[in-house]
A = this chain, B = another copy of it.
Amino acid sequence: MSKNLPSYLTITNNLTQELEAAISTIKPDKIALLVDEHTKKHCLPFLEISFDSLIEIKSGEAQKNLNTCKLIWENLTALNFSRNSLLINLGGGVIGDMGGFAAATYKRGISFIHLPTTLLSQIDAGIGGKLGIDFGGLKNHIGVFKNPNNVIICPEFLNTLPEREIKSGFAEIIKHGLIYDSGYWKQIKEVSIDQTDRMDIIQRSVEIKNAIVERDPLEDGLRKILNFGHTLGHAIESHFLASPNYLLHGEAIAMGMILEAHLALRLEMLSQNEFEEIQTFILSHYRLPKAPELKELISYLKQDKKNRDGSIRFALIEGIGRCTYDVEVSEKLIMSSIKAYNRMKTC
């Protein structure tokens, strides 16, 4: 295990062995597994452990709400789960965030283990203790900070994913290069995530996220740079959530990164060359729709967790590989970046 990884996290293809070791440390009186229809079918067969119950929820971001969370609480209650029981979350960000939140609040907190199955959750959602559910149409609006007992990242799970899911996760890898490590950005531009270097890429991305999170676990400051692309990205994701043309999280973030890089360009934090390098690379990887008008996004933006005193604040890159936060941006400037993006999409 790398010394740059958090102590509770392992990257391994020896899933069963690591999971057994984690369980024997926790010594739970009962074990339940939280799955969706996809992870039940494709990932559950990887797990050679015994457990007491399977809790199945429907897949998809639209399910990450209070009703589904209530269902998980009801299941744990019906299973007579004690405070010494264990919930294992087998899935992507939705399963991890919501299962983690349900576990962290059931009887004021029981043990839980994340087994992230998507690229996105392996490099992002599984690390740093952000748990929660969407509420009132707002992303992760209700939640807590709490680290899982263990996060076991098994890259083999990625073989079970459709290409669109892999690409969605790749957006967060792009972000890690842009906000923290220009060398990594160059590396990312050369690799293809469906090749053999997955293990290395996952490890580097987890290291970057962990380095940031360790210095600011509760997002009082530095951790906000992880939100690059996410202020507009989350609003866009929320906007399309109920639509048949919904975007995966990473796709919305990819669009958010272009828009927010454009804000940085206009604020003279980013050069024209760097902006174009970013825009070209992202657009070559994603088929993105036109951006919604600001008036469609503004209510979501106003609710962003990084705001203060009613102003909308962004994490923005200052050149490739460096990022700052708490940058107040006017609605007018946001509007002009949306226009610039949509003009470019029409060309």
Q: Which residues of chain A have a CB within 8 Å of any CB of chain B?
A: 29, 66, 70, 73-74, 77, 80, 82-84, 104-109, 130-132, 135-136, 138, 140-145, 218, 302-303, 305-310
> Which residue in chain B gives the minimum CB-CB distance to A138?
B77
B77, A308: Cβ atoms closer than 8 Å: no
Q: Among the listed B83, B136, B140, B308, which residue makes an inter-chain contact with A84, where contact means beta carbons less than 8 Å apart?
A: B308
Q: Among the listed B77, B82, B108, B302, which residue makes an inter-chain contact with A80, where contact means beta carbons less than 8 Å apart?
A: B302
A144, B82: Cβ atoms closer than 8 Å: no
B141, A77: Cβ atoms closer than 8 Å: yes
Q: Among the listed B74, B77, B83, B305, which residue makes an inter-chain contact with A107, where contact means beta carbons less than 8 Å apart?
A: B305
Complex CA–CA separation, A138 to B308 (angstroms) = 37
Which 5 pairs between the two chains have the least Cβ-Cβ distance?
A: A108-B143, A107-B305, A29-B309, A105-B142, A77-B136
B305, A80: Cβ atoms closer than 8 Å: no
B108, A130: Cβ atoms closer than 8 Å: yes
- Which residues of the other chain, B, contact A138 by a CB distance below 8 angstroms? 77
B108, A29: Cβ atoms closer than 8 Å: no
A29, B77: Cβ atoms closer than 8 Å: no
Q: A73-B142, A105-B144 are in contact. List 4 more A-B contacts (CB 8 A).
A: A73-B136, A80-B303, A109-B145, A144-B144
| Interchain Cβ contacts under 8 Å between A and B, 13 examples | A66-B70, A73-B135, A73-B142, A77-B135, A77-B138, A77-B141, A80-B302, A82-B307, A83-B307, A105-B132, A107-B141, A108-B140, A144-B144
Of the candidates A66, A105, A307, the one having the most CB atoms from chain B within 10 angstroms of its own CB is: A105
- Which residues of the other chain, B, contact A135 by a CB distance below 8 angstroms? 73, 77
- Which residues of the other chain, B, contact A145 by a CB distance below 8 angstroms? 108-109
Report the minimum CB–CB distance from A326 to chain B (whole Å): 12
- Which residues of the other chain, B, contact A218 by a CB distance below 8 angstroms? 109
A144, B73: Cβ atoms closer than 8 Å: no
> Which residue in chain B gives the minimum CB-CB distance to A218?
B109
Complex CA–CA separation, A141 to B105 (angstroms) = 8
B70, A305: Cβ atoms closer than 8 Å: no
- Which residues of the other chain, B, contact A29 by a CB distance below 8 angstroms? 308-310
Report the minimum CB–CB distance from A271 to chain B (whole Å): 33
Q: Among the listed B82, B130, B136, B308, which residue makes an inter-chain contact with A82, where contact means beta carbons less than 8 Å apart?
A: B308
A136, B74: Cβ atoms closer than 8 Å: yes
Complex CA–CA separation, A313 to B140 (angstroms) = 37
A80, B144: Cβ atoms closer than 8 Å: no
> Which residue in chain B gives the minimum CB-CB distance to A130?
B108
Report the minimum CB–CB distance from A102 to chain B (whole Å): 9
A303, B142: Cβ atoms closer than 8 Å: no
Report the minimum CB–CB distance from A100 to chain B (whole Å): 12
Report the minimum CB–CB distance from A84 to chain B (whole Å): 5
Complex CA–CA separation, A341 to B98 (angstroms) = 45
Complex CA–CA separation, A10 to B296 (angstroms) = 47
> Which residue in chain B gives the minimum CB-CB distance to A142?
B105
- Which residues of the other chain, B, contact A136 by a CB distance below 8 angstroms? 73-74, 77
> Which residue in chain B gives the minimum CB-CB distance to A307?
B82
Report the minimum CB–CB distance from A325 to chain B (whole Å): 13
Complex CA–CA separation, A156 to B145 (angstroms) = 36
Report the minimum CB–CB distance from A144 to chain B (whole Å): 6
Complex CA–CA separation, A145 to B108 (angstroms) = 6
Complex CA–CA separation, A132 to B104 (angstroms) = 12
